[in-house]
Structure formats: structure tokens, C-alpha cells
Structure 1
Amino acid sequence: MTLLRARNLVKEFDVAGTAGLVKPARRFTAVDHVSFELHAGQTLALVGESGSGKSTTARLAARLVDVTSGTVHLDGQDITALQGGDLLEVRRQVQMVFQDPFSSLNPRHTVERIVTAPLRYQKRPVPGGVRTVARSLMERVSLNPDHSDRYPAQFSGGQAQRIGIARALAVGPRVLVCDEAVSALDVSVQAQIINLLRGLQAEEGFGCLFIAHDLAVVRQIATNVAVMTGGQVVESGSRDAVFDSPQHEYTRRLLAAVPRIRPEWEAARLRNAGRVREPQ
């Protein structure tokens, strides 16, 4: 089932001329006719280097940024130009998890207030009371519910990102947009957050649009991959197809740049379909 469908998305920004010089403003194309589909229960990873347009594409899909042209459909409905209450419902169905957990959490609010904020903004009922809901959300992301009265600064980076995920889950979204959601975390914590997201997705069935530049992370979580450069998608397909048989030269360069402890082990892993034991 297709949850989110983007067709020929274009986003242009005005770039001001240089101060003091006779140089007119120009238009910069950040996203150039990008199309993709996201299905329920699957994770589509948009990958590419910084400046490739992947984060802007995600924001267009979530209606955080208005498109220059193209369309976005959520569950078959064109949401490209929705406003007011109709757009508020889109906000419920499409939630964001941001890169820097501390920047996206109000340092003056308790965790209880933070994770239940979407319920207040959406004017949704809170069965059992705010505290009960907050504790339940914290348990779902493996945080101690007794810490709901604490503030973001009292948590580690990984814990703070779990708070951000709990907040996103509060209104039962159908699509979760994760914009570099693990890039600021240590490798071991990244694995924990990825496992958390996969477990929640298995339970809830939401689609996940996962923005990343780290291909090692993408390989762990993605169902499908779209590779972007210069604002365009240059290759897309299933995770295994893109990683094991890349067709575009840019994709091959990205994969070649992934650090490996021992390249010969990686080659053997590919030959043996993952059944490789470390040499004694």
C-alpha cells in the first residue's frame, strides 16, 4: 500500500546578489524533478552527500516547505496545496524526527510536556491524563517513565533522541520522516536507535522516510534506497540491488568511500552472502 507518493518535485530558492555589486538575484534549484513512493511498513532511505537535496526533499514531502512545482500525495490525497485544518491533519499523519535531538527539544519543558505537545497542538483527547500518556510513550521508546518530570539536559544524546521519537509517535503518525536522526550519535547508540525504529515500525506499520549520508546505517534500516546528487535522484531500487549491484557511477563512488576494517573481508562477505567468519 502506497502511503506517500512524490511526483516531479521541484524546489527553487531565491539567492540574493552580492552586496555592493551590480549582480541580480538568481534562482537556485535545490530539488530537481524528484519522484518516489513510500509504502506502509517499509523504509525508504534518501542518501547522498551534503547539499544533494535529500533533506529539502524530505521537508517538501512533509509539507514543511512549499513546493515550487510537482505534487505530494498522502494515502492517495493530494496534499501539495492544503492549508488550515486540512494541513493540520497532514501534520498528524506525517511526523518528523530531527538530526540534533537537543536543538529540537525545548530545554525549559519537562519530558512529559515535550512528548505530549503534539496532542495539545492537535487538540486531541488525552485518555487517562497527560502523565499517563507521557509515561506510556516513554516506555515505548525504552525510557524510564519515572523520569518524565526531568528536563532534556538531564539525558544523554541517545536518550534525547528517544524523547524526540516518543513525541513523534504521540499522535499515531502513518509516516515518520527521520532527517539524519542518528548522525549525531555514537555508533553503538546509533544501532540502538535503529533497532528501536525497526521494532516500532513492526508494531505500528508506519512508513519511514529516512534521510542519511552514512551508507552503513542505511544498509541496516532501509528497505529501498534512492541516491541523490545535485538535487536529482540518479539511482533507486531495493536496498540489496543498490548496494550489491550499483548502476550509477556516483552510487559506486559513494559505496567505495564507506570505511571498512578489512576490504578483503567485505569482498568475501559479498561472495558468501554474509556467511563470513573473522580469520583466526
Structure 2
Amino acid sequence: MTGGRDSHGGPGGPAHPGPLLRARHLTKRFTTRAGGALGRKSVFTAVDSVDFEVFPHETLALVGESGSGKSTTARLVAKLMKPTDGTLEFAGRDVTHARGPDLARFRNEVQVVFQDPFSSLNPRHTVARILTAPLVYQGLPVPGGRRAFAGELMERVGLDPDHMHRYPAQFSGGQAQRIGIARALAVGPKLVICDEAISALDVSVQAQVMDLLVRLQRESGFSYLFIAHDLAVVRRISHRVAVMKQGVIVESGPSAEIFERPRDPYTGALLAAIPRIDPEWDRRRREGAGPGNASTTPSYEELR
């Protein structure tokens, strides 16, 4: 990440061990041909040699406009896409070229919650089957049996266990996203990647899902890589922020610092685009004085 290692956990945050995830010079280029297979070849760099780290128990938000490369970065981290260059380390292991058992282990440790829950949930499967599938497909035992396991997961995300035999289409968008979150939790991950996980939800539902994400992190202690374009959302949930523009991280640091004293003009422009209902907040930021309590995100001490 640009600028070296940041402080973590906000004021008074305790010292922490090394990063859970470390990306170094992560790069993704796509080759395209205009006019079909015989057309002129061109190369597009979606992610351009980015460095960043995610530490245990924290939320790193990766933000930027559409096309900035943040979702491609998320897919590279989740190993849903191969990097053109660079390395990935997870829990002290080089997983850049992980295969076989090493890749299976990584898949359990890193889970993804996607933007559209309905496109990522099998419409022909009941919720109970969806929630137990990650274990069943790997030949792992389902603690307490499928029904009890699915019911416990549904309770954790605020859903009625009696509805486990329903299908995804029988739920609202917010409820379906809770199912997606529950499925991610099924294998006990260390890192959950939220790729625009709340951007398709109504504003009131967004707040409920964000509260859920914070609570689950308190309970289980995993980390988030939170991909978003909405800085208002990021401010509420993140400990640190990395700002992407055209495939490059242009600024990174503790959440409060990014919001109160942005260094890069692009970050300032993103902040200026946030709708405000409190003009005093804007005045204080322009004058260089923080609004007091800059973030409602729990500190690392609270997460422990």
C-alpha cells in the first residue's frame, strides 16, 4: 500500500501481528482485439501494480468510481481470476499459484459476498441446501446435521430458521443478501470480501446489513475487504481506506484521516460528491477540524 504500513484501529488501537493478506505489485492486464479475432490487438491494464494489506480483525475499504479496478482487485484476491503479475500472501503463505489442497484451504479461508445475491444463489436449491453446500461439496462433516447447521446460520444473520426450506426467489433482496452472508460464514473464513455487497439494496436495508456485518465481525473476528463506490457507506464500516483510480491506489490510510484530511484531489472529489445533510460537517472539514467522532466503526480493542 502506498506510504508504507498505516496505523491500525484508530486512536489508542493496540499493536497487531503481521497482515492476514498482503498484495504486492498486483497487476491484471486484458488483451482485446478490435473487430474480432483478426483485428488489432490492444492491452488494457485494469489493475496496475497495487500494494495493500489487510490485517486481522479489520475492515479495509477499497473505493473508487466504476471502472477504477476495485472489483477486479477483489476477484484477484479471491483467486477467481489469475493476476498478470504480482504476488498474494495469505496468513504467511504465498498463495499466488496455489493449487489442489492449498487452493482448497484458501477457498475455505477467503469467502466472497457478491453484489447481486439472486445471481449468486442457486434458484433451484432451498436455503438449507445452499448453506450446507460449501461443506457437503468438500466432503466435510456438517456440525449437528444439516437442519441444525442451516438454522444456526440463519439465526446469526437475522433470518427465521423456519424458512430454510424456501427458495431464494421467496425472499426480499435484503433477506437474500443475508443468505449470501450466511453462506460465506459456513466454512468459518478468516477474510470475507464484500464486492459492492450492499449497493443494490434500499438505503434503509443497507443500514441494517451494515450493522449485521459489524456485529458478525465482533462475534467472529474475521477481516473484511470491503469494495464500494459509496464513501458514505465506507465511512461507517471501515478502519482503513484505499482509494483507487484507473487501476492505481492513489491514497490510503486510517478511515478518519482519509475523510477529514484527504491528500489526493481525486479523494477530495469523491468526498465532495457525498450528499450532506449537515453543513457544519463540511465547514469543519474545510477548516481542517474533524467533526469530533469521525467514525462509528468499533476500534480493534472493541472487536477483540
TM-score past 0.5 threshold: yes
Match of 1:159 in 2: 175
CA distance in 1 between partners of 2:166 and 2:71 (Å): 31
The one of 6, 27, 30 equivalent to 1:13 is 30
CA distance in 2 between partners of 1:272 and 1:160 (Å): 36
Greater shift, 22-31 or 154-163, is seen at: 22-31
The one of 273, 276, 279 equivalent to 2:292 is 273
Q: Given residue 17 of structure 1, which amino acid in structure 2 is its aligned partner? A: A
Q: Tell me if 1:4 matches 2:47.
A: no
Q: Given residue 11 of structure 1, which amino acid in structure 2 is its aligned partner? A: K
CA distance in 2 between partners of 1:271 and 1:17 (Å): 50
The one of 239, 258, 275 equivalent to 1:223 is 239
State the secondary structure of the residue aligned to 2:20.
Answer: strand
How far is 1:106 from its partner?
0.8
CA distance in 2 between partners of 1:199 and 1:210 (Å): 15
Match of 2:200 in 1: 184
Residues 141 and 165 of structure 1 are in contact (CA less than 8 Å); yes or no, is this contact kept in structure 2?
yes
CA distance in 2 between partners of 1:12 and 1:217 (Å): 29
- The residue correspondences of 1:140-151 to structure 2 (distance < 5 A) are 140-151=156-167
Q: Tell me if 1:42 matches 2:58.
A: yes
Aligned residues: 274
How far is 1:172 from its partner?
0.1
How far is 1:86 from its partner?
1.3
Q: Tell me if 1:71 matches 2:87.
A: yes
Listed as ranges, the gaps of 5+ residues in structure 1 are: 276-280
Q: Given residue 69 of structure 1, which amino acid in structure 2 is its aligned partner? A: D
- The residue correspondences of 1:1-280 to structure 2 (distance < 5 A) are 1=17, 2-19=19-36, 23-268=39-284, 272-274=291-293
Listed as ranges, the gaps of 5+ residues in structure 2 are: 1-16, 295-304
Residues 182 and 190 of structure 1 are in contact (CA less than 8 Å); yes or no, is this contact kept in structure 2?
yes
CA distance in 1 between partners of 2:279 and 2:137 (Å): 50
CA distance in 1 between partners of 2:197 and 2:176 (Å): 11
State the secondary structure of the residue aligned to 1:58.
Answer: helix
How far is 1:109 from its partner?
0.6
Match of 1:278 in 2: none
Residues 138 and 145 of structure 1 are in contact (CA less than 8 Å); yes or no, is this contact kept in structure 2?
yes
TM-score of the superposed pair, with normalisation by structure 2: 0.87
How far is 1:259 from its partner?
1.0
CA distance in 1 between partners of 2:91 and 2:263 (Å): 31
Residues 214 and 237 of structure 2 are in contact (CA less than 8 Å); yes or no, is this contact kept in structure 1?
yes
State the secondary structure of the residue aligned to 2:80.
Answer: coil
